Amino acid sequence: MNDTQRTAPTGSPTLARIRPEMEELPESHIVAVWQLGFEVEDVVGLWVGEGDLPTPKFICDAAAQSLANGETFYTYKRGLPELRQAIATYHEGLHGHAVDVERVIVTSAGMSAIMLATQAIIGRGDNGIVVSPIWPNAAAAMRIVGAEVREVGLDATPSGWKLDIARLEAACDENTRAIYIATPGNPTGWLAESHEIKAIMDLARRRGIWVVADEVYNRFVYDRPPGASGVTSAPSFLAEAAQDDPLIVVHSFSKAWAMTGWRMGWMIAPERLGTTIDKLIEYNTSGAQPFLQRACIVAIEQGEGFVAEMVERCRRARDLTIQRLSAMKRVHLVPAPAAFYQMFSIDGSGDTLEFAKRMVREARVGLAPGSAFGQGGEKHFRLCYACSTERISKAMDRLEAFLEK
C-alpha cells in the first residue's frame, strides 16, 4: 500500500459541531413562497423588495469604463475617498446638516453594513431591540452573534402604524446594547417623525444604547412637501443627532437607484467607531469592488432625475394598490405613507405562509407572508408595489377573483 493511502476509520464518526445559533436560525418564509413560484407558470411576483426597472445605463457604463481602465485591484477598505465625499455631500444636501467624511464607510451592501454594525456593538449575553414588523435579516444578524432579540411591535391603527416610545424603553434593560429601527420601514411603510426620532435618541443617550437606523427607503416618501433641498425625503436620525452620538445610519444603493444586484451600501457612524469597522471589513470582505464604487459615484452625483422618476412611478403604483385593495370585501389595510410596500390582512386567511402558497398556486400572485416579519405581522401579507401599474392591475385582478371564490 502506498504510504499516502489510509484505510477508513472504523465506527461512527463524531460530527463536528455547528453553533446552536446557526442551527436555530429560521428559514425565510419569503424565500419559501418565492421558491414555490419557480414551479408555477406566469406568477405575478410581488414578494421581494425590488423594483422591475433595470439599473440605468449611465450607471452601468461607469462600471464598465472602470473595468476597462483596469480598476480591478484592492482599494481602500472604507471606500474610495471620492465616493465617501459624494455620500457626505449627498446627505448634507438632503438634510441640511454637514456630515464629516470620516464618518462615512462604504460597505458591500446595506445588509453588510447591518452585519458590521452588529458585530461591532453587540454579542453573546447582550440583547437588542427591534421595532417590528421588521425585515427578518436585522434580527437574524443579532442572533448570529449570539445576542437575544427583543421585539417591540408597532400598533396597527386605522390612521397608520404607531410606535409606543414608552413600551420601547420598557423593553430595555442593563444588557440592551442596540435598538434597530427601520424608517421608513419594511414591511409596513411606517416612518418615524422628527419628534419620535428625538425621543429615541434621548433614550439612547440616557441609557448608553446604540441606535442602528435603517434609512434605506428614505427617498420613497409620499404626500409630503419637498424639503429645503427641493427633494422629498423622510425625517432622518442624522438631522436630530450630534456627530458623536451612539448612532449608526445604514443606507443602500439598491432601492432608489435600482441597483439591488450590485450589493453596495454605506453607513454613517461616529468617527470613534471607524477603526473597529475598518478591522471588521478586513475580516469580512476586505472592501468593496472599485469598479462598482465608480458606478455609485455616478449614481449619487448624476442620478437625481432617475430617483425622482422611480419615486413617482412607485407613487402611482401605491395609489392604485390602495384603491384596488380597499375595494375588496375581505381585505383590511393600513395605508403606508412611505417605502414601497403595502401590508394588509385577509379575512379567513389563517396561517399566512400557507395562504400565500395557495395564492401562488391558485391565483398566480406572489406575496410575502406576514409571518416572515415578526411581532405584529402574523395576520398580514406584504405586497411590493415598486413596479408598473400594468403589473399591479394584473395582480389585483387575479387576487380579487381568487378572494371572491
Q: So what's the pLDDT on residue 233?
A: 94
241 plus 338 within the same structural domain: no
Given 303, 334, 359, the domain boundary residue is: 303
**pLDDT value for 225:** 84
Based on the domain organization, do 26 and 63 belong to the same domain? no
pLDDT given for residue 9 in this prediction = 59
Q: Are residues 35 and 181 in the same domain?
A: no
Q: Are residues 168 and 216 located together in one domain of the fold? A: yes
3-state secondary structure the chain: CCCCCCCCCCCCCCCCCCCHHHHCCCCCHHHHHHHHHHHCCCCEECCCCCCCCCCCHHHHHHHHHHHHCCCCCCCCCCCCHHHHHHHHHHHHHHHCCCCCHHHEEEECCHHHHHHHHHHHHCCCCCEEEEEECCCHHHHHHHHHCCCEEEEEECEEECCEEECCHHHHHHCCCCCEEEEEEECCCCCCCCCCCHHHHHHHHHHHHHHCCEEEEECCCCCCECCCCCCCCCCCCCCCHHHHCCCCCCEEEEEECCCCCCCHHHCCEEEECCHHHHHHHHHHHHHHCCCCCHHHHHHHHHHHHHCHHHHHHHHHHHHHHHHHHHHHHHCCCCEEECCCCECCEEEEEECCCCCHHHHHHHHHHHHCEECEEHHHHCCCCCCEEEEECCCCHHHHHHHHHHHHHHHCC
Q: What confidence score (pLDDT) does residue 22 get?
A: 83
How many domains are contained in the chain?
2
Whether residues 233 and 352 fall in one domain: no
CATH number at residue 353: 3.90.1150.10
User: Does one domain contain both 32 and 80?
Assistant: no
Q: Is there a single domain that holds both residue 100 and residue 34?
A: no
Q: Residue 2 domain-assigned?
A: no
Note whether 212 and 271 are same-domain residues.
Answer: yes
Among 247, 269, 303, the domain boundary falls at 303
- Structure confidence at residue 285 (pLDDT): 95
Q: What string of pLDDT tens digits covers the 405 residues of the chain?
A: 455 555 555 666 777 888 888 888 888 899 999 999 899 999 999 999 999 999 999 999 999 999 999 999 999 999 999 999 999 999 999 988 899 999 999 999 999 999 999 999 999 999 999 999 999 998 999 999 999 999 999 998 888 899 999 999 999 999 999 999 999 999 999 999 999 999 999 999 999 999 999 999 999 999 888 877 788 899 999 999 999 999 999 999 999 999 999 999 999 999 999 999 999 999 999 999 999 999 999 999 999 999 999 999 999 999 999 999 999 999 999 888 999 999 999 999 999 999 999 999 999 999 999 999 988 888 999 999 999 999 999 999 999 999 998
Residue 159, in any domain of the structure? yes
- The model's pTM is 0.93
Residues 354 and 212 in one domain: no
Residue 220 and residue 193 share a domain = yes
315, 277: one domain: no
Q: In which domain, by residue range, is 92 found?
A: 59-303
Are 91 and 237 in the same domain? yes
From 303, 332, 362, the end of a domain falls on 303
Residue 5 lies in a domain: no
Give the pLDDT confidence score for residue 5 in this predicted structure: 57
